[in-house]
């Protein structure tokens, strides 16, 4: 059971980590994208629909990224170019994604989806190493998206704190007026952050259907986008801390399955609520202790 718990912890943490790292870039630029939940849900649907139609996982991944980029672009137009309230724009995006994926799912696949399934991503490592106790299931039987998610932690750390682009991005999130006065192009930087975030959130959504569930259910993102937002805050806007926080929430998601398997006599809804209760608790105790970008969430209009 410990093998299964550790493996589930890492696999559950991967989509949260991908989405949270993408949101980290967006927030470092001064935006807050509440619509990340809708982006993830759209990507999950696009991945499943494309993979089901073509039988190709690669096509599913590509369509997931395309759908996520489209949704991120819509948010960019509203939040960057039109300077709409970012919370309102993101909430509208979530509602739109929930509605449009539900309508398309029922239109294409029917009310029940007709036992719809697609092929899932396979584990990268095989053979004797993958069967080692504890280490094998937890670390060596994961699919490529899991390894990609954790690889992006040091990559983004280097990008944010060791490159000129990272310095420009953080300047846009701290003092957008001064950054624009220096010719850094705040609008362009924020668009770039949203597009990169779109790719990462698209892969996060694709993971739900192609790397984990091998099917699609309406609303299957199930609040993971909002958990990713809280992970960014809990992680103090630092990639390594965000990875640790993602593992914490991954463990909470995995624990609910363990508790449901054990006959405790408690309603299963209590276990389903565990990750969301944890979100509220850790944000209450530890949230907001990191270096928050000064202009986070504030609309910026170039003069």
Q: Does 234 reside within a domain?
A: yes
Tell whether 294 is covered by a domain.
no
pLDDT at 128: 65
CATH code, 99: 1.10.3470.10
**Domain assignment of residue 72, yes or no:** yes
**pLDDT of 132:** 67
Calpha distance 13→200 (Å, rounded): 14
- Tokens 């990875």 locate to 243
Residue 130 binned pLDDT confidence (cut-offs 50, 70, 90): low
pLDDT surpassing 80 at residue 134: no
pLDDT in tens, 210-233: 998 888 989 999 899 999 999 999
Confidence category of residue 121, pLDDT binned at 50, 70, 90: confident
Is 297 part of a structural domain of the chain?
no
Distance CA 290, CA 258 (A): 33
Range in 22-26, 28-32, 180-184, 186-190 with the lowest mean pLDDT: 180-184
In which region does residue 185 sit, left (phi positive, over 0), alpha (psi from -120 to 50) or beta (all else)? left
Is the pLDDT reported for residue 38 higher than 90? yes
Question: pLDDT band at 5, cuts 50/70/90?
Answer: confident
Residue 57 lies in a domain: yes
**Residue 19: predicted pLDDT:** 97
Angle between helices 36-54 and 57-76 (to 10 degrees): 150
> For position 113, what pLDDT does the model report?
60
Q: Give the per-residue pLDDT at 2.
A: 73
Residue 123, in any domain of the structure? yes
* Residue 87, pLDDT score: 95
What is the model's pLDDT at position 108? 87
The pLDDT > 70 percentage for the chain reads 90
Residue 295 lies in a domain: no
At residue 185, does pLDDT exceed 80?
Answer: yes
Number of domains present in the structure of the chain: 1
Mean pLDDT of 22-42: 96
pLDDT mean across residues, the chain: 89
Band of residue 93 on the pLDDT scale cut at 50, 70, 90: very high
Q: pTM for the complete prediction? A: 0.92
Q: At what angle do helices 36-54 and 86-109 cross, to 10 degrees?
A: 20
Confirm whether 251 is domain-assigned.
Answer: yes
Task: Give pLDDT tens digits for 140-171.
Answer: 778 899 999 999 999 999 999 999 999 999 99
Q: Could you list the residue range(s) of the whole structural domain that residue 138 is in?
A: 2-286
The pLDDT of residue 289 = 64
Q: CA geometry: angle at 5 spanning 265 and 153, to 5°?
A: 135
Name the DSSP letter for residue 184: -
């Amino acid at each position: 059971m410990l093998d299964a718990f550790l493996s589930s912890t890492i696999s559950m943490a991967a989509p949260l980590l991908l989405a949270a790292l993408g949101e980290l870039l967006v927030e470092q630029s001064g935006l807050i994208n509440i619509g990340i939940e809708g982006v993830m849900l759209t990507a999950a649907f696009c991945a499943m629909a494309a993979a089901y139609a073509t039988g190709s996982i690669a096509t599913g991944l590509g369509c997931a990224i395309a759908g996520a980029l489209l949704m991120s672009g819509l948010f960019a137009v509203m939040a960057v170019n039109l300077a709409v309230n970012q919370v309102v724009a993101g909430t509208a995006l979530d509602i739109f994604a929930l509605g449009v994926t539900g309508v398309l799912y029922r239109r294409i696949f029917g009310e029940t989806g007709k036992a719809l399934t697609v092929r899932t991503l396979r584990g990268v490592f095989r053979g004797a190493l993958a069967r080692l106790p504890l280490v094998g299931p937890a670390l060596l039987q994961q699919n490529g998206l899991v390894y990609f998610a954790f690889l992006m932690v040091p990559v983004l750390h280097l990008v944010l704190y060791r490159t000129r682009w990272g310095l420009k991005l953080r300047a846009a999130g701290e003092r957008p007026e001064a950054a624009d006065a220096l010719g850094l192009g705040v609008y362009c930087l924020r668009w770039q952050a949203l597009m990169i975030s779109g790719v990462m959130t698209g892969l996060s959504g694709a993971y739900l259907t192609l790397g984990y569930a091998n099917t699609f259910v309406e609303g299957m993102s199930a609040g993971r986008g909002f958990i990713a937002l809280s992970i960014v805050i809990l992680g103090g806007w630092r990639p390594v801390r965000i990875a640790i926080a993602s593992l914490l929430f991954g463990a909470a998601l995995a624990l609910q399955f363990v508790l449901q398997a054990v006959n405790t006599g408690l309603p299963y809804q209590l276990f389903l609520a565990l990750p969301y209760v944890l979100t509220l608790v850790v944000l209450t105790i530890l949230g907001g202790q990191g270096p928050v970008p000064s202009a986070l969430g504030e609309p910026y209009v170039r003069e």
